[in-house]
Structure 1
Amino acid sequence: MVITDGMTSSYADMLDEHRASRRALLLVKAAEAIDTHGLRSVTIDAIADHAGVAKVVLYRYFRSKDALIDAVLADMVDALLGVDDMPAQWWTERLPHTLALAHEKRAALRVLLRQASYDPRFGQHVKRLHAVLAERTVGRIREALGEPGAMPGDPSMLAQMISNFLLDAYLLWVDRGDPAKDAEFLAWLVASVRFMTRRWWNAPAD
């Protein structure tokens, strides 16, 4: 009976892994189809065709087209927040991992930033991303530079500007930059954020 239970458990684990792997692949293909056809114009048939599966397969994993789009966006946001929350001695250590994620999930990132940002229904995912990043960013700046001096806006405004700048920069780079120069791009990114932060935070120059 113990052996049987062990075999059953092993098969269940394998089945779960298979479903998780297939769901992840469907999200990748769905992001590509949405990026091509548009957030509101894409059809479930177009997504199924792009994924090379029958429409019924999509419905086994996602109850509707909107649920599938939500899953694509939530997966991208969770991935970005996960990388941003990686253990690191300094924030710059996370940037190469975020850029690698942007390369890997370029279509989903494009859908999130270029389409969902302006959509009243799906924009909630972008708002969640910026809200969490802003809170983390303000905390990190305070830890590094102390309390702010006089600044044009409040700290949350600076944090929003930094997260917008970084995300747009990643997307522009994976779309048009040279991957062989990723290191140079990241160095420029670090210098830009440091300058922006110190100018707004009113901290002494290095």
Structure 2
Amino acid sequence: MLFDHLTKQLGKPTQGPWGWMLKKFFERRNRLLEVNAVKLCDIQPESVVLELGFGPGLGLQEAAKRLMLPKGKLYGLDYSEYMYRVASRRVQPDIQTGKVTLFHGSVEHIPLEDNVVDRVFHCNCYYFWPDLQSGCREIYRVMKPGGLMVTTLSLEVLRKFVAAGFLKNTKWPPEPYMATLRDTGFVDVYMEQKQDQGKPFQAIFARANKP
């Protein structure tokens, strides 16, 4: 029961002791994945960017630094109301200028128009989506033709979590996720082994194949 509860909290942290501890955990353990996802996205000064499952907002901070021209825009979507509030405080200056807009909601219903996003990134996120196919379809819908999505994760850490009893009933292996991306219409879907500061991680790339 405890592992099931913690798995739910990992996917949707709530206000309280568990949410606060997970916030600290994400800030310590996810920073490397967030920073590298932003780097690998190749964000340009005028890009329109979307982060899914932004958590405490570390990736939002990194991405916002790269949007240096007026047309540059960063959107963020998170399922957790608590994380939405935490991240909103972290990037409040950029929210006030209009560079950043955050949404509280599900990947199955992204509140953006069709074909508006150049880059999408997310870290430790897709395994908590209720429906992989619906989520991937919605991401594909909002992306511009040729838009790039980058997903970062650590299979080593995930396997340790699974061995400890976490992430039951989640689709954490990357293969079903990558297959769903291809079925949705993404092309050039592949995974690369990466390393930063001596720590290995994986990056999954996909491009929106649209006319």
Higher-Rg member (1/2)? 1
TM-score of the pair, normalised by structure 2: 0.30
Is the helix fraction higher in 1 or 2?
1
Is the strand fraction higher in 1 or 2?
2
